Amino acid sequence: MINRVLLRIKIVQILYSFYKGEGKSIPIAEKELFHSIERTYDLYFHLLQLSIEITQYAASRIETKRNKFRPTEEDLHPNTRFVDNKFIKQLSENIQFNEYLAKQKLSWVNHPDIVKELFDEIVAADFYAEYMNASVADYAVDKDIWRKIYKKIILQNEELDSSIEDQSIYWVDDIEIVISFIIKTIKRFDKNNAEKQPLLPMFKDEEDAEFARKLLRGVLTNGNQYRQMIDENAKNWELDRIAYMDILIMEVALSELMDFPTIPVNVTLNEYIEIAKNYSTEKSGTFINGILDNIVGQLKKDNKLIKVVMFSENKK
């Protein structure tokens, strides 16, 4: 689940904290990195859990109306398509899902206002009305409504975004990419798997975990060398005039360029230019592209940049 795009961002964040702090060691930085990754995996389950919380809230609303002093005909015979959603039922019975929630003690019990607000937004959406009144009700449609809810409502809700950040400092800026993983999970759900439907693993494979470990250690070990390379190629700029985050991003990019011969140069450059656009200044992407391009040219000229062409698909 935790792909290399997110791993690169996590490493930049951990390094920023590392350099700003005092008395930290490489093992401590590595421990913090993997703790941050584990917390993002928690968020994956926590946001999946939100679909069940919303459904349970909807069911409680139906029950409240049924028990009114003078219930209407609609109160007594409501449309229960939303609360009877087959995808939600399967998720609520998922063994892996429930074991993880119990182990990590994840819950929305202290955030009822968020659950209510999201449900109200769902009910107000046009696609909800279409779903509730559709002539066909099947498993595929039940999955699709939740794909739309995550994409069009949960992802866009500012109150949820603030709540997530308040719940954990490790979840800042994670919600968008985690919801993309949830949408992928919904698409993969198969009713024939019942309660044994596999959820996404923390890492696709051990190679990705080793990528994160090696990249972090590469920057911490060779950071001074990379800063010197940046200084030499930043014409008309002094290091103390360059945004600190830009220097840090370029250090990580250089570590990847030097230590991962199977990752193409253009992949590395594009990834860190995107990170710069999102996490540094408005002009950082263009600036970093220029500096790294100069460094790559010099490294190639000096035969210091070795890249291996892989016949299988390269990991990004």
In a domain, 236, yes or no: yes
Q: Judge whether residue 23 has pLDDT over 90.
A: no
Residues 133-176: tens digit of each pLDDT? 998 889 999 999 999 999 999 999 999 999 999 999 999 889 99
Residues 95, 53 share a domain: yes
For the cut 60, the answer to whether the pLDDT of residue 314 exceeds it is no
310 pLDDT band, cuts 50/70/90, is low
pLDDT at 173: 87
Give me the residue label for tokens 């995996």.
41
**166 and 45, same structural domain?**
yes
Residue 308 lies in a domain: no
Q: What is the pLDDT of residue 312?
A: 44
Task: State whether 157 and 282 are in the same domain.
Answer: no
Residue 217 lies in a domain: no
State whether 258 and 156 are in the same domain. Answer: no
| Lowest-pLDDT range of 6-20, 57-71, 213-227, 237-251 | 237-251
Residues of the chain above pLDDT 90, percent: 79
What pLDDT does residue 74 have? 87
CA-based R_g, the chain, Å: 24
- Once rounded to an integer, what is the mean pLDDT over residues 88-111? 97
Domain ends where: 139, 162, 196? 196
Q: Region 31-59: what's the mean pLDDT?
A: 97
Whether residue 197 has pLDDT greater than 50: yes
pLDDT at res. 24 = 78
Residue 1 has pLDDT above 90, yes or no: no
Q: Which domain holds residue 135?
A: 4-196
Round the average pLDDT of the chain to a whole number and report it: 92
Whether residues 112 and 156 share a domain: the answer is: yes
Q: How far apart are CA 297 and CA 87, in angstroms?
A: 52
Instruction: Tell me the mean pLDDT in the region 97-107.
Output: 97
Confidence of residue 21 (pLDDT cuts 50, 70, 90): confident
CA distance 211 to 301: 27
Q: What pLDDT, on the 0 to 100 scale, is given for residue 313?
A: 46
Of the ranges 50-54, 64-68, 140-144, 236-240, which one carries the lowest mean pLDDT score? 236-240
Pairwise CA distance, residues 206 & 187, whole Å: 24
Q: What's the rounded Cα separation, in Å, for the pair 61 and 273? A: 48
Distance CA(229)–CA(295), nearest Å, equals 7
Note whether residue 90 is domain-resident: yes
Region 195-210: mean pLDDT is 95
Q: What is the pLDDT of residue 92?
A: 98
In a domain, 209, yes or no: no
What pLDDT score does 308 carry?
Answer: 76
Q: Under a CB-based contact definition with an 8 Å cutoff, are residues 212 and 33 in contact?
A: yes
Number of domains in the chain: 2
pLDDT given for residue 315 in this prediction: 53
CB–CB of 144/93 below 8 Å? no
Best CA proximity match to 233, nearest among 245, 220, 242, 223? 242
Question: Is residue 20 scored above 60 in pLDDT?
Answer: yes
HEC per residue, the chain: CCCHHHHHHHHHHHHHHHHHCCCCCHHHHHHHHHHHHHHHHHHHHHHHHHHHHHHHHHHHHHHHHHCCCCCCHHHHCCCCCCCCCHHHHHHHCCHHHHHHHHHHCCCCCCCHHHHHHHHHHHHHCHHHHHHHHCCCCCHHHHHHHHHHHHHHHHCCCHHHHHHHHHHCHHHCCCHHHHHHHHHHHHHHCCHHHHHHCCCCCCCCCHHHHHHHHHHHHHHHHHHHHHHHHHHHHCCCCCHHHCCHHHHHHHHHHHHHHHHCCCCCHHHHHHHHHHHHHHHCCCCHHHHHHHHHHHHHHHHHHCCCCCCCCCCCCCCC
pLDDT at 239: 63
For residue 63, pLDDT over 60 is answered with yes
Q: Provide the CATH number for the domain around residue 286.
A: 1.10.940.10
Q: pLDDT tens for residues 256-305?
A: 999 999 999 999 999 999 999 999 988 899 999 999 999 999 999 999 89
226 and 182 within one domain: no
Per-residue confidence (pLDDT) for residue 137, from 0 to 100:
84
**Residue-level pLDDT at 30:** 96
